[in-house]
Amino acid sequence: MKPTLLILAAGMGSRYGGLKQLDAMGPSGEVVLDYSVFDAIRAGFGKVVFVIRRDFEEQFRTQIGSKFGDRIAVDYAFQDITDLPAGFTVPEGRTKPWGTAHALLAAEKVVHEPFLMINADDFYGRDAFAKIAADLTTARPEDGISHYSMVGYYLRNTLSDHGSVSRGVCTRDAASKLCSVTEMTKIFKTATGAENRETEPAVPLTGSEIVSMNFFGFTPDIFTHLREAFTEFLQTNGSDIKAECYAPKVVNDLIQAGKADVTVLESNDSWFGVTYPEDKADVVASIQALVTAGAYPQSLWS
């Protein structure tokens, strides 16, 4: 069974100032997720599912989804903050989505095969897709726990010069199994590496830490785990208008409970992405350099 590419594209782009998922970055007008779909197709993925919001569905289908119809199967799932388990309601004043775990749950009805979860606005590189595709098409042992995978990146290669970023900071064992993921949401680049300023004093980081960039390979049993975790999250944080349920935290909790393991794969490619408007020039230049080097054609879909 060919794996599915699940692209999280429902984010508001609040720090960037708009729908960065639809902002052209490539030499022929490509957006960042065009390169992810292109890499997924040549890695052997059979379907792409976009998790989006209803309010920009028509624009997204026209500008993005229509390009892939004759190249790979395309489907959509919709993240809605009112889509909650029975007994829960949206607190007054909340407009923010519930986070990546909730976004994943939105796709449960359309994803029935092993799949890769990625962000719409992150560039991961061809090697990462090839390695995760090989892993997703490998049989899992039937030993009572879930077996997942991820591609990790060095923190120093994922920072912005223009503000803070959120990253899942990982530890792994000698067998390349993920030991823990700590979500840090205010990581700033510094002269000596980085630091997380969520609390005082700030937590110093070297920059050599492996971080999750939401490049996870899952089997469909993740949805059962997500439903349980999201319900528990709402019981504790349901009245908080800003709290989010992060997929990496769910994965971390599963590891700590002995319910899952995650193989950390290494990629030879560099990650880059756009968090702030000022990041765009760097992404455009990086993509052009890859095109010039022959890694991608001048026009992906011509």
State residue 214 phi and psi, 5-degree precision: 60, 45
Instruction: Return mean pLDDT, the chain.
Output: 92
**Short-list 292, 297, 269, 268, CA closest to 30:** 297
Q: Say how far apart CA 111 and CA 302 lie, in whole Å.
A: 29
Q: Please give the share of the chain, as a percent, with pLDDT higher than 90.
A: 72
Token digits for 213?
A: 């960039």
Burial of residue 36, with CB atoms counted within 10 A of its CB: 0-12 exposed, 13-18 middle, 19 or more buried: buried
Quick one: pLDDT at residue 281? 92
Answer whether 100's CB lies under 8 Å from 122's CB. no
Q: Taking residues 252-272, what's their average pLDDT?
A: 90
H or E element that contains 42: helix 32-43
CA nearest neighbour of 248 among 204, 196, 184, 195: 184
pLDDT tens across 169-214, in order? 999 999 999 998 888 989 999 999 999 999 999 999 999 999 988 8
Going by pLDDT thresholds of 50, 70 and 90, the confidence category of residue 12 is very low
The answer on pLDDT for 32 being more than 70 is yes
pLDDT at 183: 85
Check whether 17 has a pLDDT greater than 70. no
CA distances from 192 to 40, 156, 211 (A): 35, 10, 18
Q: How far apart are CA 156 and CA 197, in angstroms?
A: 16
How far is the C-alpha of 146 from the C-alpha of 221, rounded, in Å? 7
Nearest to 295 by CA among 157, 176, 129: 129
Give me the count of residues in the chain.
302
pLDDT attached to residue 8: 93
Which two structure tokens, joined as six digits, stand for 121? Answer: 């606005």
How far apart, in whole angstroms, are the C-alpha atoms of residue 257 and residue 117?
22
In the predicted model, is pLDDT for residue 16 greater than 50? Answer: no
Q: What are phi and psi of 7, to 5 degrees?
A: -105, 120
Residue-wise pLDDT for 210-260, tens only, equals: 998 889 999 999 999 999 999 999 999 999 999 999 898 899 999 999 999
* Distance of alpha carbon 153 from alpha carbon 125, whole angstroms: 11
Report the b/e string of 132-166 with b at 16+ CB within 10 A: bbebbeeeeeeeebbbbbbbbbbbeebbbeeebbb
Q: What is the pLDDT of residue 197?
A: 97
The pLDDT tens digits for 116-145 are: 999 998 999 999 999 999 999 999 999 999
**pLDDT at 19 (0 to 100):** 62
Find all residues with CB under 8 Å of 160, minimum gap 6, and list them: 189, 275, 276, 279
77, two tokens: 């799932």
Supply the pLDDT for residue 60.
86
Q: Kindly state the tokens that stand for 61.
A: 């289908």
